[in-house]
Amino acid sequence: MPSSIVILGTGSCAPTKIVSNHDLAKVVDTSDEWIVTRTGIRERHIAGQHEPTSELAARAASAAIADARLTAADIDLVVLATVTPDMPMPSTACAVQRKLGISERAMCFDLNAACTGFLYALDVARSLMAAGHHRHALVIGAEKLSSFLDWQDRSTCVLFGDGAGAVVLGQASEPGRGILGCYLGAEGVDPSLLCIPGGGCLHPASAHSVEHRQHYVKMKGREIFKMAVRVMAGAAREILEQHGLTADQITWVIPHQANLRIIETLAKDLALPLDRFIINLDRYGNTSSASIPIALDEARRAGRIHPGEISLLVAFGGGLTYGSALIRW
Protein backbone atom coordinates (compact mmCIF):
# COMPACT_ATOMS: atom_id res chain seq x y z
CA MET A 1 0.00 0.00 0.00
CA PRO A 2 1.53 3.37 -1.01
CA SER A 3 2.28 5.52 1.98
CA SER A 4 3.25 8.97 0.73
CA ILE A 5 1.94 11.56 -1.69
CA VAL A 6 4.96 13.13 -3.38
CA ILE A 7 5.64 15.89 -5.88
CA LEU A 8 6.89 14.20 -9.07
CA GLY A 9 7.30 17.33 -11.17
CA THR A 10 6.79 21.09 -11.23
CA GLY A 11 6.20 23.66 -13.95
CA SER A 12 5.35 27.31 -14.35
CA CYS A 13 4.43 29.86 -16.96
CA ALA A 14 4.91 33.61 -17.05
CA PRO A 15 3.50 35.62 -19.95
CA THR A 16 6.26 37.19 -22.04
CA LYS A 17 5.09 40.79 -21.61
CA ILE A 18 6.80 42.48 -18.65
CA VAL A 19 5.47 45.73 -17.19
CA SER A 20 7.87 47.64 -14.92
CA ASN A 21 7.01 50.08 -12.15
CA HIS A 22 8.29 52.85 -14.44
CA ASP A 23 5.77 51.74 -17.10
CA LEU A 24 2.98 51.92 -14.51
CA ALA A 25 4.05 55.39 -13.39
CA LYS A 26 3.04 56.56 -16.89
CA VAL A 27 -0.51 55.20 -16.37
CA VAL A 28 -1.33 56.04 -12.72
CA ASP A 29 -0.01 58.49 -10.12
CA THR A 30 2.71 56.29 -8.63
CA SER A 31 6.49 55.84 -8.68
CA ASP A 32 9.04 53.05 -8.77
CA GLU A 33 10.32 54.33 -5.43
CA TRP A 34 6.88 54.04 -3.73
CA ILE A 35 6.16 50.57 -5.09
CA VAL A 36 9.62 49.16 -4.27
CA THR A 37 9.70 50.66 -0.77
CA ARG A 38 6.18 49.60 0.18
CA THR A 39 6.07 46.19 -1.52
CA GLY A 40 9.41 45.06 -2.97
CA ILE A 41 7.80 44.67 -6.42
CA ARG A 42 9.78 45.94 -9.45
CA GLU A 43 7.93 44.38 -12.38
CA ARG A 44 5.18 41.91 -13.26
CA HIS A 45 4.15 39.75 -16.22
CA ILE A 46 0.93 40.67 -17.98
CA ALA A 47 -0.89 38.20 -20.22
CA GLY A 48 -2.05 39.14 -23.70
CA GLN A 49 -5.57 39.17 -25.12
CA HIS A 50 -5.26 35.57 -26.32
CA GLU A 51 -3.72 34.25 -23.11
CA PRO A 52 -6.60 33.40 -20.74
CA THR A 53 -5.97 31.77 -17.37
CA SER A 54 -6.48 28.31 -18.92
CA GLU A 55 -3.67 28.95 -21.41
CA LEU A 56 -1.19 29.95 -18.66
CA ALA A 57 -2.38 26.97 -16.61
CA ALA A 58 -2.01 24.53 -19.50
CA ARG A 59 1.56 25.70 -20.20
CA ALA A 60 2.57 25.34 -16.54
CA ALA A 61 0.83 21.96 -16.31
CA SER A 62 2.47 20.69 -19.47
CA ALA A 63 5.91 21.60 -18.06
CA ALA A 64 5.09 19.86 -14.77
CA ILE A 65 3.94 16.67 -16.55
CA ALA A 66 7.15 16.63 -18.63
CA ASP A 67 9.23 17.24 -15.49
CA ALA A 68 7.50 14.24 -13.86
CA ARG A 69 8.38 12.16 -16.98
CA LEU A 70 4.72 11.38 -17.50
CA THR A 71 2.21 12.13 -20.27
CA ALA A 72 -1.21 13.77 -20.12
CA ALA A 73 -2.73 10.27 -20.34
CA ASP A 74 -1.32 9.49 -16.87
CA ILE A 75 -3.29 12.30 -15.17
CA ASP A 76 -6.59 11.32 -13.56
CA LEU A 77 -7.28 14.34 -11.34
CA VAL A 78 -7.00 18.08 -12.07
CA VAL A 79 -7.54 20.59 -9.26
CA LEU A 80 -7.09 24.17 -10.42
CA ALA A 81 -7.00 27.04 -7.94
CA THR A 82 -7.97 30.43 -9.34
CA VAL A 83 -9.94 33.60 -8.63
CA THR A 84 -9.74 34.58 -12.29
CA PRO A 85 -11.35 31.70 -14.20
CA ASP A 86 -11.82 31.94 -17.96
CA MET A 87 -15.57 32.10 -17.23
CA PRO A 88 -17.88 31.21 -14.31
CA MET A 89 -18.79 27.93 -16.03
CA PRO A 90 -17.43 25.53 -17.20
CA SER A 91 -14.38 25.24 -15.01
CA THR A 92 -10.94 26.35 -16.14
CA ALA A 93 -9.75 22.86 -15.12
CA CYS A 94 -11.92 21.41 -17.91
CA ALA A 95 -10.31 23.85 -20.38
CA VAL A 96 -6.87 22.60 -19.27
CA GLN A 97 -8.07 19.01 -19.70
CA ARG A 98 -9.16 19.83 -23.27
CA LYS A 99 -5.96 21.71 -24.14
CA LEU A 100 -3.66 18.96 -22.86
CA GLY A 101 -5.75 15.97 -23.98
CA ILE A 102 -6.17 14.63 -20.45
CA SER A 103 -8.36 11.52 -20.20
CA GLU A 104 -12.13 11.92 -20.03
CA ARG A 105 -12.06 9.69 -16.97
CA ALA A 106 -10.19 12.38 -15.03
CA MET A 107 -11.97 14.39 -12.33
CA CYS A 108 -11.46 18.10 -13.14
CA PHE A 109 -12.61 21.07 -11.08
CA ASP A 110 -11.71 24.61 -9.96
CA LEU A 111 -11.26 25.72 -6.40
CA ASN A 112 -11.36 29.29 -5.05
CA ALA A 113 -9.48 30.08 -1.86
CA ALA A 114 -7.90 33.28 -3.26
CA CYS A 115 -4.14 33.50 -2.68
CA THR A 116 -4.20 30.41 -0.44
CA GLY A 117 -5.79 28.49 -3.32
CA PHE A 118 -2.75 26.44 -4.26
CA LEU A 119 -2.35 25.10 -0.71
CA TYR A 120 -6.07 24.28 -0.50
CA ALA A 121 -5.84 22.51 -3.88
CA LEU A 122 -2.75 20.60 -2.76
CA ASP A 123 -4.54 19.31 0.33
CA VAL A 124 -7.73 18.39 -1.55
CA ALA A 125 -5.75 16.53 -4.23
CA ARG A 126 -3.58 14.67 -1.75
CA SER A 127 -6.64 13.68 0.30
CA LEU A 128 -8.39 12.27 -2.79
CA MET A 129 -5.22 10.42 -3.70
CA ALA A 130 -4.78 9.09 -0.19
CA ALA A 131 -8.34 7.73 -0.42
CA GLY A 132 -7.04 5.62 -3.30
CA HIS A 133 -9.16 7.10 -6.10
CA HIS A 134 -6.40 8.66 -8.21
CA ARG A 135 -2.85 7.83 -9.28
CA HIS A 136 -1.52 11.12 -10.68
CA ALA A 137 -2.94 14.54 -9.84
CA LEU A 138 -2.26 17.85 -11.47
CA VAL A 139 -2.49 20.69 -8.95
CA ILE A 140 -2.44 24.12 -10.57
CA GLY A 141 -2.52 27.73 -9.36
CA ALA A 142 -3.25 30.04 -12.30
CA GLU A 143 -4.34 33.66 -12.57
CA LYS A 144 -4.93 36.36 -15.13
CA LEU A 145 -5.46 39.10 -12.57
CA SER A 146 -4.77 41.85 -15.10
CA SER A 147 -8.32 41.31 -16.48
CA PHE A 148 -9.75 42.14 -13.04
CA LEU A 149 -7.56 45.12 -12.11
CA ASP A 150 -8.78 48.68 -12.16
CA TRP A 151 -5.99 50.37 -14.10
CA GLN A 152 -7.19 53.71 -12.66
CA ASP A 153 -6.70 52.55 -9.05
CA ARG A 154 -3.06 52.92 -8.01
CA SER A 155 -3.68 51.24 -4.67
CA THR A 156 -4.30 47.87 -6.35
CA CYS A 157 -3.11 47.80 -9.97
CA VAL A 158 0.58 48.09 -9.02
CA LEU A 159 0.45 45.00 -6.80
CA PHE A 160 -0.67 42.12 -8.98
CA GLY A 161 0.55 40.12 -11.98
CA ASP A 162 -0.35 37.15 -14.18
CA GLY A 163 1.11 33.64 -14.22
CA ALA A 164 0.63 29.98 -13.42
CA GLY A 165 2.41 27.23 -11.54
CA ALA A 166 1.68 23.51 -11.34
CA VAL A 167 2.80 20.33 -9.65
CA VAL A 168 2.16 16.67 -10.46
CA LEU A 169 1.45 14.49 -7.44
CA GLY A 170 2.12 10.78 -7.37
CA GLN A 171 2.40 8.03 -4.79
CA ALA A 172 5.55 6.57 -3.28
CA SER A 173 6.11 3.85 -0.75
CA GLU A 174 8.59 5.91 1.23
CA PRO A 175 7.12 6.96 4.54
CA GLY A 176 8.24 10.37 5.77
CA ARG A 177 8.72 11.80 2.29
CA GLY A 178 6.44 14.03 0.21
CA ILE A 179 3.61 16.15 1.60
CA LEU A 180 3.95 15.70 5.34
CA GLY A 181 0.85 17.71 6.14
CA CYS A 182 -1.30 20.74 5.44
CA TYR A 183 -2.93 23.17 7.84
CA LEU A 184 -5.74 25.29 6.38
CA GLY A 185 -8.36 27.68 7.67
CA ALA A 186 -10.41 30.78 6.99
CA GLU A 187 -11.67 33.88 8.76
CA GLY A 188 -14.63 34.84 6.59
CA VAL A 189 -15.34 37.93 8.64
CA ASP A 190 -15.42 40.79 6.16
CA PRO A 191 -15.62 40.22 2.40
CA SER A 192 -15.01 43.91 1.70
CA LEU A 193 -11.38 43.61 2.85
CA LEU A 194 -10.39 42.02 -0.48
CA CYS A 195 -12.94 41.21 -3.14
CA ILE A 196 -14.22 41.48 -6.69
CA PRO A 197 -17.78 42.53 -5.83
CA GLY A 198 -19.41 42.38 -9.27
CA GLY A 199 -20.23 39.56 -11.65
CA GLY A 200 -21.67 37.10 -9.11
CA CYS A 201 -25.35 36.71 -8.25
CA LEU A 202 -25.10 39.38 -5.53
CA HIS A 203 -24.19 42.07 -8.07
CA PRO A 204 -24.77 40.57 -11.54
CA ALA A 205 -23.27 42.33 -14.52
CA SER A 206 -25.31 45.42 -15.36
CA ALA A 207 -24.79 48.96 -16.59
CA HIS A 208 -24.74 49.94 -12.88
CA SER A 209 -22.06 47.36 -11.96
CA VAL A 210 -19.86 48.47 -14.84
CA GLU A 211 -20.35 52.16 -14.07
CA HIS A 212 -19.36 51.54 -10.42
CA ARG A 213 -16.31 49.49 -11.45
CA GLN A 214 -17.57 46.51 -9.44
CA HIS A 215 -15.82 43.96 -11.67
CA TYR A 216 -12.40 44.96 -10.40
CA VAL A 217 -10.33 43.99 -7.35
CA LYS A 218 -11.12 46.16 -4.30
CA MET A 219 -8.85 46.03 -1.29
CA LYS A 220 -8.34 47.61 2.12
CA GLY A 221 -4.59 47.22 2.03
CA ARG A 222 -3.65 48.28 5.54
CA GLU A 223 -6.20 45.97 7.22
CA ILE A 224 -5.18 43.03 5.01
CA PHE A 225 -1.54 43.68 5.84
CA LYS A 226 -2.14 43.42 9.59
CA MET A 227 -4.20 40.23 9.24
CA ALA A 228 -1.69 38.73 6.82
CA VAL A 229 1.18 39.15 9.24
CA ARG A 230 -0.83 37.51 12.03
CA VAL A 231 -2.25 34.54 10.10
CA MET A 232 0.96 33.75 8.18
CA ALA A 233 2.93 33.47 11.43
CA GLY A 234 0.10 31.48 13.05
CA ALA A 235 -0.17 29.02 10.13
CA ALA A 236 3.61 28.53 10.02
CA ARG A 237 3.94 27.96 13.75
CA GLU A 238 0.90 25.65 13.91
CA ILE A 239 2.11 23.22 11.25
CA LEU A 240 5.64 23.11 12.67
CA GLU A 241 4.19 22.29 16.07
CA GLN A 242 1.86 19.62 14.63
CA HIS A 243 4.89 17.84 13.13
CA GLY A 244 7.24 18.34 16.06
CA LEU A 245 9.58 20.53 14.02
CA THR A 246 11.31 23.81 14.74
CA ALA A 247 11.81 26.58 12.20
CA ASP A 248 15.56 25.98 11.99
CA GLN A 249 14.85 22.48 10.58
CA ILE A 250 13.25 24.11 7.53
CA THR A 251 15.65 24.63 4.64
CA TRP A 252 13.32 26.79 2.55
CA VAL A 253 10.23 28.76 3.38
CA ILE A 254 8.19 29.36 0.24
CA PRO A 255 5.70 32.08 1.18
CA HIS A 256 2.88 33.66 -0.78
CA GLN A 257 4.50 36.53 -2.67
CA ALA A 258 2.36 39.56 -1.79
CA ASN A 259 4.65 42.03 -0.09
CA LEU A 260 8.31 41.83 0.96
CA ARG A 261 7.49 43.55 4.26
CA ILE A 262 5.02 40.76 5.11
CA ILE A 263 7.70 38.14 4.35
CA GLU A 264 10.29 40.04 6.42
CA THR A 265 7.91 40.12 9.38
CA LEU A 266 7.33 36.36 9.04
CA ALA A 267 11.10 35.80 8.95
CA LYS A 268 11.49 37.76 12.19
CA ASP A 269 8.65 35.85 13.80
CA LEU A 270 10.23 32.49 12.90
CA ALA A 271 13.71 33.80 13.81
CA LEU A 272 14.96 32.73 10.37
CA PRO A 273 17.22 34.82 8.11
CA LEU A 274 15.58 36.15 4.96
CA ASP A 275 17.96 34.11 2.82
CA ARG A 276 16.04 30.98 3.87
CA PHE A 277 12.98 32.34 2.01
CA ILE A 278 12.32 31.85 -1.69
CA ILE A 279 11.39 35.34 -2.90
CA ASN A 280 10.55 36.30 -6.48
CA LEU A 281 7.87 38.95 -6.00
CA ASP A 282 10.24 41.61 -7.32
CA ARG A 283 9.80 40.03 -10.79
CA TYR A 284 6.18 38.80 -10.59
CA GLY A 285 4.20 40.95 -8.17
CA ASN A 286 1.37 39.12 -6.46
CA THR A 287 0.04 36.33 -8.71
CA SER A 288 -2.43 35.09 -6.07
CA SER A 289 -2.84 31.29 -6.22
CA ALA A 290 0.02 31.02 -8.73
CA SER A 291 2.62 32.66 -6.52
CA ILE A 292 3.74 29.65 -4.44
CA PRO A 293 3.90 27.10 -7.29
CA ILE A 294 5.82 29.56 -9.50
CA ALA A 295 8.34 30.20 -6.70
CA LEU A 296 8.57 26.47 -6.01
CA ASP A 297 9.20 25.64 -9.66
CA GLU A 298 11.83 28.36 -10.03
CA ALA A 299 13.63 27.18 -6.91
CA ARG A 300 13.62 23.53 -8.03
CA ARG A 301 14.81 24.33 -11.54
CA ALA A 302 17.59 26.53 -10.12
CA GLY A 303 18.78 23.50 -8.11
CA ARG A 304 18.06 25.17 -4.79
CA ILE A 305 15.99 22.26 -3.39
CA HIS A 306 17.70 18.99 -2.47
CA PRO A 307 16.52 15.51 -1.41
CA GLY A 308 15.85 15.17 2.29
CA GLU A 309 15.26 18.89 2.85
CA ILE A 310 12.00 20.17 4.31
CA SER A 311 10.17 23.12 2.74
CA LEU A 312 7.48 25.13 4.49
CA LEU A 313 4.82 26.66 2.25
CA VAL A 314 2.67 29.38 3.81
CA ALA A 315 -0.03 31.67 2.44
CA PHE A 316 -2.90 34.02 3.16
CA GLY A 317 -5.52 35.49 0.85
CA GLY A 318 -8.95 36.97 0.31
CA GLY A 319 -11.64 35.44 2.43
CA LEU A 320 -9.57 35.75 4.58
CA THR A 321 -8.05 32.33 3.98
CA TYR A 322 -4.74 31.04 5.29
CA GLY A 323 -2.71 27.87 5.18
CA SER A 324 0.61 26.10 5.38
CA ALA A 325 2.11 22.85 4.15
CA LEU A 326 5.28 20.87 4.86
CA ILE A 327 7.09 18.93 2.13
CA ARG A 328 10.06 16.64 2.59
CA TRP A 329 11.89 16.20 -0.74
- Whether the Cβ atoms of residue 45 and residue 17 lie closer than 8 Å to each other: yes
Minimum Å gap between C-beta 227 and ligand UT7 is: 9
Q: Is 212 a catalytic residue?
A: no
Minimum Å gap between C-beta 315 and ligand UT7 is: 8
- Whether the Cβ atoms of residue 227 and residue 194 lie closer than 8 Å to each other: no
| Residues found near ligand UT7 in the complex (CB under 6 A) | 30, 34-35, 38-39, 115, 154-155, 158, 194, 219, 221-222, 224-225, 228, 258-259, 286, 317
- The CB density around residue 225, as the number of other CB atoms within 10 Å, is 16
Minimum Å gap between C-beta 30 and ligand UT7 is: 3
Residue with Cβ nearer ligand UT7 (50 or 222): 222
Closest CA to 51 of 88, 108, 13: 13
Whole-angstrom CA distances from 319 to 56, 137, 140, 227, 228 are 24, 26, 20, 11, 11
- The CB density around residue 65, as the number of other CB atoms within 10 Å, is 24
Catalytic residue among 13, 115, 157, 182: 115
Rounded CA separation 313/90 (Å) = 30
Catalytic residue among 45, 134, 136, 256: 256
Residue with Cβ nearer ligand UT7 (38 or 301): 38
Residue with Cβ nearer ligand UT7 (167 or 258): 258
Q: Is 259 a catalytic residue?
A: no
Burial of 283 (0-12, 13-18, 19+ CB in 10 A): middle
Tell me the residue nearest to ligand UT7 as measured from the CB: 221
Q: Is 256 a catalytic residue?
A: yes
Minimum Å gap between C-beta 19 and ligand UT7 is: 13
Residue with Cβ nearer ligand UT7 (30 or 311): 30
- Whether the Cβ atoms of residue 104 and residue 72 lie closer than 8 Å to each other: no
Active site residues: 115, 256, 286
